[in-house]
Amino acid sequence: MKLTRESLLDGSLHAAVRAQLGDQVQLMSDAERGAQVRQMLDRAPLRDRVWVFAFGSLIWNPAFHFAERRTARVHGYHRQFCLSLYAGRGSPERPGLMLSLESGGSCTGVIYRLAPGTEGAELDVLWRREMLTHAYRPVWVWAQTPTGREPAIAFAANRTHERYAPDLDEDTVAERLATGTGTLGRCCDYLFDTVAHLQQLGIRDRRLESLVVRVRQRLGAA
């Protein structure tokens, strides 16, 4: 299975997660999703433009439509593997890890501008992807771009969620990334693709690059 705009809109991704985890996982309802999107738009710092900040797989597979893309840095948050994965690129038997934003430091990634008039529809697609299990906490941030600051929606870790896994040591993170796998594929490929696309943009994340080395060593020894 692939994570695409179509699999988000036709409900097949939702169904796959439900089939894998059953009733033990709480999934966001249509009503909850619509209410959250409206609340985020109501709190927009600037009403004439809405951007989305990407720090992981949204960089190379956004799934939503956008009008413009720029590299950007967000201060006050850093990229970290701190959310356990039991579906998608993980399973209950072979759990993986997912990136999120944690407080402190800064993070360089990409921001996408949504075309005026499409914000509600495109954020609905984004919410189906990022907020399916409530593991993220959507926040407004200011993103510094080569041409100035822009307001963007970003996804920080929901520290009250059962999947939140803070303060994992590097060996544990590398092991989970090397062994995690699920219906969307291997967790290690999520790491490899993220680092490769960051480097294509001229962005260096030395912690992730170090994890690539550790994970490849584990895969080679398997």
Q: What mean pLDDT is predicted for residues 123-147?
A: 97
Which residue numbers are catalytic?
130
What residue spans of 131-205 are helical by DSSP H? 170-179, 187-200
Q: Which residue has the higher pLDDT, 23 or 39?
A: 39
pLDDT of res. 221: 74
Domain residue extents for the chain: 5-221
Tens of pLDDT, residue by residue over 57-101, are 999 999 999 999 999 999 999 999 999 999 999 999 999 999 999
Q: What mean pLDDT is predicted for residues 27-37?
A: 96
CA dist 101 to 70, 73, 139, Å? 19, 13, 10
Residues 6+ positions from 183 with CB-CB distance below 8 Å: 1, 16, 20, 87, 88, 91
Return the CATH number of the domain spanning residue range 5-221.
Answer: 3.10.490.10
3-class DSSP state of 47: coil
Task: With CA atoms as reference, report the closest residue to 139 among 86, 189, 74.
Answer: 74
Which pTM value belongs to this model? 0.95
